[in-house]
Structure 1
Amino acid sequence: MTMRGTLPDRCGTFTIGGHAITRLGLGTAQMSASGVWSHPKDAAEAARVLQEAIDLGVNLIDVAESSGPFDYEELIVRALSPFPEDLLLMIKGGLLRSPEGQWEPVPRPSFLRKQIETRLWYLKLNRVPLFQLHGFSPNAPIADQIGLLTDMQREGKIGQIGLAEVTLAELEEARKYAEIATVQAEYNLINRAADPLLDYAEAANIGFIPWLPLATGALASQDGPLAEMARRRSVTPAQLALAWLLKRSPAMLPTPGTLSLQHLNDNVSAVDIPLTATEVGDLDRLTAEP
């Protein structure tokens, strides 16, 4: 693959809150020691991955409360502070973890406020650049939950508002009360159930962040559905899966996670893989449900 120009030149950008964001970002979930709600497996290596991502031109980093109890906010501060001016930190919250390890939506908007303010404290920031609400609580009207976020916007504590794990109807309802910058849902070559949400987001100029872009590694496997085509193209299966996502929509903003510098560089190189219409069709058929 021939790499020409900076990462924004190579993969394109998507504008969020007036800032041009690289269409390939970095997630932190795969840095966990146990896959969820755990400290980073190797904090020093995680810091190197974060720093390398910035050096490569990535300026969208995704961190969720469900990865761990503030370990990742502290990691990001240690690795990247002072933050680059063009960096967009996407912080996802809105859930509470029970002693049994179950996740439930916060019971009241006031809990959400406390959660956001605590994340700000750990990040040593006055404002969350992009806050994504991790689903709506059934205990309060959508208007009240979005209202809390718009209140915090006016206070300067939130820059942009995003939503994760919501239905199309919920997204449409939320847009009655606030400008929604991004939406996140599980989406990859194997699982395309969120196609209607993606198409709506693209039409409304809302960034779409695919959760599990590599289907928890199934699409990256050397004996998976993309392996043969990857060998023919002299690329990795993961690179093909990411190239397909970037081709699928200009609103697509994958944030694959890794604790490997090699995988990070491989992921970023996926932006340089051109796919023909025939190849896109072949990929669609390879991964289509029977």
Structure 2
Amino acid sequence: MDWKVVGSMQIGPELRVRRIGFGGAWLTGPGTFGPPPDPAAATAVVRRAVEAGVQLVDTADCYGPEISETLIAEALADCPDDVVVSTKGGRIALGGNTWRADGRPEHLRQACEGSLRRLRRETIDLYQLNAVDPAVPLEESLGALVELRAAGKVRAIGLCNVGVAELARARLVTDIASVQDRYDLLTRDHDDVLEVCADDGIAFLPWFPPANELRAARDSALGRIASRHGASPAQVALAWLVRRAPVTVPLPGTSHPAWWEEDLGAVGLRLSEPEVAELGERAGEAASA
């Protein structure tokens, strides 16, 4: 892997990682609920990611629930100390890719303790509030994470699924090391959040479903550029995320070894400035009908 192509990103004052991580949401059954069809293969994919040079592995207590964290702990049992593990609390899994927010401080404290046990760690490198609970002031939810950090159970604090206004409110409470939102070539609702992160040096962790492989029409911008590089559309789309801003750390993830090998192929893919611009401008035509 030529990791020099993607470079690295600082996450908070203590953590620095290469700019493609691994997303653990898809180490579960359908709808991020229940166990994966082949737990051994899922564990092997995480181990392969780290062996290839990935330094950030991201998960959440609601993936499974609890299953993703448990599989990741098994996979990382003998891995290098420079692997950063990120997890999240603040959502209750309902199945079918649906969740309910729970930002109560007492819930977040219990969730963090559970994640520490499952991940077999004394400190969670990056702990992210998984959603803003409309029934709980954001300041109260973040206050619980600040207390966890003061107790040594959390090293850095991040947010997920937020807008610009919520990010600004959060930063009045504490330093925010990362923001994780859904974002890819075709899903650009959080462009404004990304711009704030880029301006202020906050890591932006875009996640996207593995099924979103952007099977482009050959005459689309994505199809043409993929053909030019001898790459798949999914690889080009991932390389575009890396180039989109210097703070992005994309989180591809899957429980299928072959799909992960395809993702790794994006590490050394060099897109030109005109190609990056064309993809950004013509994203709407990227996928075939």
How much has 1:180 moved relative to structure 2?
Answer: 0.5
Aligned residues of 1:92 and 1:133 also touching (Cα < 8 A): yes
**In structure 2, distance between residues paired with 1:100 and 1:32:** 12
Once residues 207 and 218 of structure 1 are traced to their aligned partners in structure 2, the CA distance between those partners, rounded to angstroms, is: 24
| Structure 1 stretch displaced more, 234-243 or 255-264 | 255-264
Change (3 A) 1:272 1:117: same
Is this contact kept in 2: 1:153–1:159, CA < 8 A?
Answer: yes
Choose from 1, 9, 18 the match for 1:14. 9
For 1:10, the aligned partner's letter is V
Native 8 Å contact 2:242 2:249 kept in 1: yes
Tell me if the contact between 2:28 and 2:63 (Cα under 8 Å) persists in the aligned partners: yes
Equivalences for 1:222-241 in 2 at 5 Å?
Answer: 223=217, 225=220, 226-241=222-237
Give the conservation status (yes or no) of the 8 Å contact 1:180–1:206: yes
For the residues of structure 2 that align with 1:55 and 1:188, how far apart are their CA atoms? 26
Detail structure 1 runs of 4+ shifted over 3 Å in the superposition: 97-102, 222-225
Letter in 2 for 1:73: E
Q: For residues 87 and 190 of structure 1, do their structure 2 counterparts lie closer, same or farther at Cα, with a shift above 3 Å needed?
A: same
1: CA distance, partners of 2:277 / 2:20 = 22
The C-alpha deviation readout for 1:88-135, integer Å capped at 9, x for no partner, is 111022012359985221162111111111111111211111111111
Tell me which residue corresponds to 2:277.
281
Q: How far 1:65 moved relative to its partner?
A: 2.7
Partner secondary structure for residue 97 of structure 1: strand
Match of 1:109 in 2: 105
> Is the alpha carbon distance of 1:238 and 1:203 closer, same or farther for their aligned partners in structure 2, counting shifts above 3 Å?
same
TM-score, structure 1 normalization: 0.90
Quick one: distance in 1 between partners of 2:105 and 2:285?
40
Partner of 1:261: 257
Looking at structure 2, the residues matched to 212 and 282 of structure 1 have their Cα atoms a distance apart, in angstroms, of 21
CA distance 1:99–1:54, change in 2 (3 Å) = closer
- Going from structure 1 to structure 2, the CA distance change for 1:263 and 1:285 (only over 3 Å counts) comes to same
Question: What is the CA–CA distance in structure 1 between the aligned matches of 2:30 and 2:243, rounded to whole Å?
Answer: 32
Identity %: 34
> Is 1:217 aligned to 2:212, yes or no?
yes
What corresponds to 1:68 in structure 2?
Answer: 64
Deviations 1:189-231 (A, max 9, x none): 11212111001001111100112176x4241x26485234312
Contact 2:216 2:233 in 1 (8 A): yes
TM-score, reference length from structure 2: 0.90
Conservation of the 8 A alpha-carbon contact between 2:90 and 2:103: no
Q: How does 1:145-184 map to 2 (within 5 A)?
A: 145-184=141-180
**Structure 2, gaps ≥5 residues long:** none
Q: Identify the match of residue 81 of structure 1 among 44, 55, 77.
A: 77
In structure 2, give the amino acid aligned to 1:106: D
Contact 2:29 2:64 in 1 (8 A): no
Match of 2:198 in 1: 202
Indicate the larger mover: 89-98 or 261-270: 261-270
1:169 is aligned with what amino acid?
A
**What secondary structure does 1:65 align onto?**
coil
Q: Is 2:36 aligned against 1:44?
A: no
Alignment RMSD: 2.2
CA distance in 2, matches of 1:116, 1:36: 20
The Cα shift of 1:241 comes to: 0.1
Cα distance in 2, alignment partners of residues 103 and 51 from structure 1: 28
TM-superposed CA distance for 1:69, in Å, is 1.9
Alignment equivalent of 2:132, drawn from 131, 136, 157: 136
**Runs of 5+ unmatched residues, structure 1:** none
Which deviates more, 57-66 or 196-205?
57-66
